[in-house]
Structure 1
């Protein structure tokens, strides 16, 4: 039988399906891993309502836990309070940057809806001389920017 501590450690290793360099825990999507009688319950909050990765996330968590010895697993979705980029861990922000995605600044969520007010540093060279190219990047939760210093385009994880 899988212990609760083992289950928490396993869930912390599961990568986000859209950004595999970052775990679900580092993105702040996993809210809680707990036991309810004989059932392991993992509570998740998607990055936004209708996120296409939600079903994959639930399946990935359930698959990993069952393969490692959990007898019963329930994935519980909690929508309120809504996920915010402030829930991304410091470790997660560094992993995003290393992967080439500019992470949002902590407490930048107050700029939600005002993408033009968000000026991420380039994850490639660190320059702050960046320009918004498109409000949507490789996934709906990202925007596309370009660095004036190194001329590289990059994704920016939108602050919400």
Structure 2
């Protein structure tokens, strides 16, 4: 694992393909920020949107928005070159078919995986992005959970 130095990889003769893996549920400005920052460090950005089942297994809750819709939202961003739906972090298509050379890890960005959640990938493949805006997902999820619990009582 390494921290990224601004400008690293920009002089390479072959395009540098980066990847961000995440759930991207309750899409918010923190997600946009992570994706835009990742795009600054690569020539082509692939986004891997994790499945509903992955989120349930990893976090104990299904996303509010289905995987296909989350992938469509992410695909509309200018900074994203390609979107793939994946069932696991270690999807063979990332390095093989898509030619991903680095997987970006974000800190404090709910819905985008951090270093701990990328365990299982070779350490040399993981690049830690510099800190950006704080995520609003935990606040949104808590508010929705509270509203749902109130409505189930009524």
Structure with greater proportional strand content? 1
Answer 1 or 2: higher relative contact order, Cα 8 Å, separation at least 6. Answer: 2
Q: With the length of structure 2 as denominator, give the TM-score of the two structures.
A: 0.29
Flag the structure with larger Rg: 1
Structure with greater proportional helix content? 2
